Amino acid sequence: MSRTSSEKLERVAEHSRRLREDRAERRFRTRFWMLVAGLALISAVFLVLGAFQGPKLSTAQVDAARATEQPGQQLRLFANQPVDEVDAAQVSVEPAAEVAVTVQNELISVQFVDRLQWGTEYTVRVEGVTAPGRSVAGTMEHRFATPDGSLLYLDRGEEVDEVLRAGIEGAGPGEVLYSAPGIQRFALVENALLVARDAPDGGSGEGASVIEIVNLDSGRTEEVRLPSAVRVESMTASPAGTTAALVLTSAGVAAGEGEYQQSLVTLDLGGAREVQPVAGLDGEVLRVREAWFPGSGTGMLVHTLDGVLVQVDPEAGTPPLPLGDYREVYGPSSDGASLSAADDFGGVLLDLATGEEERVNPSLFEGDVVFAGETLVTAQGLRVQKVAVAGLDGSFTTLLVADDGSGASRLLARTIDDRGSLGDVALAPNDQYVAIEVTPVLDEAVSDERIVDPQPTSVTIAIIDVATGAVVRTLEGFAPAW
């Protein structure tokens, strides 16, 4: 082939290559600008949608278990952008629950004023949520379920006694937390069980007690040093602390003798784990009928043997404050805001913040006048009350009723054919259930003949839904504790 022909072929090949490159470049530019146009269109669509939609929920956080145990717990709602202030009226909760709301940037905090119900699915809806500089509002909704509740109680056997935990939903006796001979009393202090039981070989006095701390996580048991030869008359624990209050009496001596006579002491399981006497205004150890922790701290309400209600905080170092004289004190309401009691003129509801008293008279039951007894008050002011109804033959029947002060109460519990008796009552911290000791047939009851706190061998616990009056579970035992 000649040189001229070769050059022509090269020019043709080069021209063809440039044509292919030009076509490829045009296709690339076309596709690139199509992609840019598509992305711009998508961005425009999202921009338009964003302009016509309000803030949306990204994530939510809530400790559902703690929300049933303590008031003031929060549901934290995180929006996809900062939001304007939200009013509590914009929040709806199903089932109903009172809330307070705060906003910080993209975080909406919904605070539940009271404890939530166990075993319940909640729907929280926040409407009319706007972002700064935008008028379009959005709606946020979150659902969560709370766990089922449980109850602790004591079941005594012929040789070994057991402290058990039973769920509200379920069957059988429940889980054994601790077993030992001669259990007298117990109290739950955070993740530990405080147990008083008969001293080995009777100790140095009949009915003397020893106290053990049982770690429920590890199962480890530790004995607490008590004064020599004392009996634990009662024990109660702070609902959200490590302090327990004990009432001690000297054992093995005549009534009224001995160093301890219904003497109030505290025991801090998170501290030195040694009993500390609680002094009254005169500097002497307080002698009491019963003590309560109305809140989560170390402050206590104490009903003395003289009938005086005293407010005392051993840790604060402030002098005890007398609040009034009462024939009976039934204890603080579930929210710690008030206290139910009785004096010579009838029932009293004491506002613990102001000191004001409100006279409360029991409502009629099925048209009959009743006589009020032990009364527990919910955070909403509902009275769960033991009342006595007089029969035509002069006998009295004891009932457990719910009284909202409207003039008519409704039944929560009574024994079959009114042949039994109703014992101690324990209202759940969230007011959802009430547990009551029931002896089915009083005339046939047989005592377990314990030296400390003898009980009928037939005693059972009925767990009742306060709202409906339905018995949801029964357990063989006594001393219910939530």
Q: What percent of the chain has pLDDT over 70?
A: 91
pLDDT at 252: 82
List, for residues 171-228, the tens digit of each pLDDT value: 899 999 999 999 999 999 989 999 999 998 755 567 899 999 999 999 899 999 999 8
- For residue 368, pLDDT over 90 is answered with yes
List, for residues 275-303, the tens digit of each pLDDT value: 999 999 999 999 999 999 998 788 999 99
Q: What does the alpha-carbon distance between residue 304 and residue 309 come to, in Å, rounded to a whole number? A: 6
List, for residues 387-413, the tens digit of each pLDDT value: 999 988 888 999 999 999 999 999 999
- For residue 117, pLDDT over 80 is answered with yes
pLDDT at 42: 66
pLDDT at 395: 87
pLDDT at 418: 93
pLDDT at 27: 76
Q: Measure the CA angle with vertex 60, ends 59 and 61; round to 5°.
A: 135
- For residue 3, pLDDT over 60 is answered with no
Which sequence spans correspond to the domains of the chain? 1-52, 57-145
List, for residues 245-260, the tens digit of each pLDDT value: 999 999 988 877 889 9
pLDDT at 139: 96
pLDDT at 135: 82
pLDDT at 263: 97
pLDDT tier at 49 (50, 70, 90 boundaries)? low
CATH top class, domain 57-145: mainly beta
Average pLDDT, the chain: 91
Q: At 199, list the tokens.
A: 């001293």
pLDDT at 34: 77
